[in-house]
Amino acid sequence: MATINPTPNRVPNPVRAEVPLLYDKYDRPVKGIALHSASLHVGLKSVVLSYCCQPFFMYVCPQKTAMAETEECILTLENVEISRDENLILRNANLTLHGSEFVYIIGKVGSGKSSLLKSLYCEIPVRQGEARLLGYDLRKMKRRDIPFLRRKLGIVFQDFQLLTDRSVVKNLDFVLKATGWKNKSEIKARIEEVLFQTGMQTKGYKMPHELSGGEQQRIVIARALLNNPKLILADEPTGNLDPETGGQIVQLLHDISRQGTAVLMATHNYTLVHNYPARIVKCENECLCDIGE
């Protein structure tokens, strides 16, 4: 039970005050939430607001929350070279990414977008330069450490890669158990949470082939969220979807970013980039260029 005393000075009720950051059950700051009443729940943690005997308003400062999250640099690439089968893909690549940022990686087919993402989850080695992700040195990664890095990442594939022989819930259950979850009630609760977060709370019993393409991609995003990742890598997540459904998926990823998870999304769909603006990094001529929003 956490007790928060916003100020020792008595002022008329109700009051708005900047307070220390509140955190949800995943220890992520809660952004810009107006709180009313003497006791409430944020996630699974009960927070008692004690100022005077009557209920009052408090305000979690969004500027402080944003600053706390974005100050943390989760990805740094400096003069990185990526090659595959002796073919140079990217050279002298530089990129930084902070917590809760949303960044598009754009470029033509074959320009290196997917290879860049694969290098981040150690599918392709980084040959030169400095590459650090979530505290790991990607150039010095040992094979036994790769699963631990990947548990901090959420990966969204264009072709879904769901297990077709089991239901949505069984797909998610498989991932949690494979990554060390053992308590059945916690597994059940976590699955319900990510399905609700992605708007798929009524689809858990269905088999993948019974879902539309957009629904399958939402399940893939739910799967990516299971272990509360710091970063989601989305590789052409709208490539197999119609424009309207693709827009809904990108909006969902933006919503997830606003909740505190960084998103790095590769795409060559410039319409979506225009409709859902964010920072843009371009792969072109074996180079990586940060062109802003």
Tens digits of per-residue pLDDT, 128-179? 999 999 999 999 989 999 999 999 999 998 888 899 999 999 999 999 999 9
pLDDT of residue 23: 38
Of 203, 205, 210, 99, nearest to 221 by C-alpha is 203
pTM, two decimal places: 0.74
Per-residue pLDDT tens over the stretch 6-20: 434 433 333 333 333
Higher pLDDT, residue 122 or 86: 122
Q: How far apart, in whole angstroms, are the C-alpha atoms of residue 20 and residue 135?
A: 26
- Among the residue ranges 33-47, 191-205, 215-229, the one predicted with the least confidence is 33-47
Q: How confident is the model at residue 85 (pLDDT cuts 50, 70, 90)?
A: confident
Q: Which domains does the chain have, with CATH numbers?
A: 2-69 (no CATH), 70-292 (3.40.50.300)
| Stronger pLDDT, 54 or 105, i.e. the higher one | 105
* Reported confidence tier of residue 271, pLDDT bands at 50, 70, 90: very high
pLDDT tens by residue, 189-208: 999 999 999 999 999 999 99
Greatest alpha-carbon pair distance for the chain in Å reads: 71
